[in-house]
Amino acid sequence: MPLDWAPLVDLIRQHQTILLMTHIRPDADGIGSQLALADALRQMGKTPRVVIASPLPPRYAFLDPERRLIEEFEAPGTAFRDVDAIFVMDTGTWGQLGDFGEFMRSMTVPKAVIDHHRTQDDLGGLAFVDTTAEATGRLSYEIIRALGAKISPMAAHHMFMALALDTGWFRHPNTTASSFALAAELVAAGAKPTPLYEQLFECASVARFKLVGLSLSRLQVRCGGKIAFTDVRLSDYAATGAVPGDTEDLINYPRSIEGVEMAMIFIEQPDGGTKVSFRARSADVSKVAEKFDGGGHKLASGARLPDDVDDAILKVLAACEDALR
């Protein structure tokens, strides 16, 4: 059933300075959705602030090379106290907000969640969640239409990026006929798929390739070939010259092995603990992620454990093997 955007439209019309936030380690869907909605809000004379809770990955630096559009949140968040509404996009869980979570709890302004993931916490505001949407970029499109705003070529470009990346460039099972219809509309509005693809997939640094090679050298399989996983250690960044943002999409390598049902990548975190990304072909990895206070989609989820990498691997492997039984 389509979402009723009327309450959000009313909220937008009643407020001027709206902070748009996405999850830590922002991706194409989160950032693309933010930038597209921000464009529409500017058309209305609003003052949107596109904010991220962790560094902008090098892969997306081309979106704002002079950093005039995207701001990085730093605790305690004094620079953002003047906003009068907060919209969280492409996540609905506290664990995905990093230090911004505490700031958001302290703010008494109206809040809203705009998301397509199944796993949700109560973030203390309106919730617009459509788990049938293939990307939050689609929800940005629906909001812009509900506002009666024009879709500019740049907004179309950003929403196409969100749609294309969250469907694996229209390869994943969440891709539908309506995905292609929306893609066609966005291209007609000014999105440029070819340079976008080249920028996202054909402009990787040598350091990223070295990190990929190092990670693949540790690739392991378990459970008769149904589980594949690898890891990235903090020391790997110094060894290769890569940065944490270069780990995006590494999960696709173990998932691409023939016969693999569940794939994971374990990433050591600078402040302790281990981030785990899950991918699956048919199993519900969101239920495994939820055992570790994570979540997401059935076939793509994430979690963070307080354990070091080796202990995290043991715990998560045990949970995955139980799930496959």
The pLDDT assigned to 229 comes to 98
Domains in the chain: ranges and CATH: 6-200 (3.90.1640.10), 206-324 (3.10.310.30)
Q: Which residue, 95, 94, 114, is CA-closest to 105?
A: 94
Q: Are 18 and 41 in contact (CB under 8 A)?
A: yes
Q: Are 53 and 21 in contact (CB under 8 A)?
A: yes
Distances in whole angstroms, Cα of residue 187 to Cα of each of 34, 160, 230, 303: 19, 8, 37, 35
The pLDDT assigned to 295 comes to 87
3-state secondary structure 144-203: HHHHCCCCCHHHHHHHHHHHHHHCCCCCCCCCCHHHHHHHHHHHHCCCCHHHHHHHHHCC
The pLDDT assigned to 296 comes to 86
Hey, what are 234's tokens?
A: 């903090």
The pTM for the full model equals 0.87
Percent of the chain with pLDDT over 90: 92
Q: What is the mean pLDDT of the chain?
A: 95
Angle at 46 (CA atoms; ends 41, 47), nearest 5 degrees: 100
Give dist(CA 81, CA 62) in Å, integer: 28
> Which residues partner with 126 through β-bridges?
112
What is residue 248's DSSP assignment?
A: T
Give dist(CA 267, CA 49) in Å, integer: 30
Residues of the chain falling short of pLDDT 50: none
Give dist(CA 237, CA 243) in Å, integer: 6
**CA count, 13 A, side-chain hemisphere, 323:** 24
The pLDDT assigned to 151 comes to 97
The pLDDT assigned to 1 comes to 62
> Which residues partner with 264 through β-bridges?
229, 278
The pLDDT assigned to 98 comes to 92
The pLDDT assigned to 124 comes to 94
Give dist(CA 272, CA 256) in Å, integer: 29
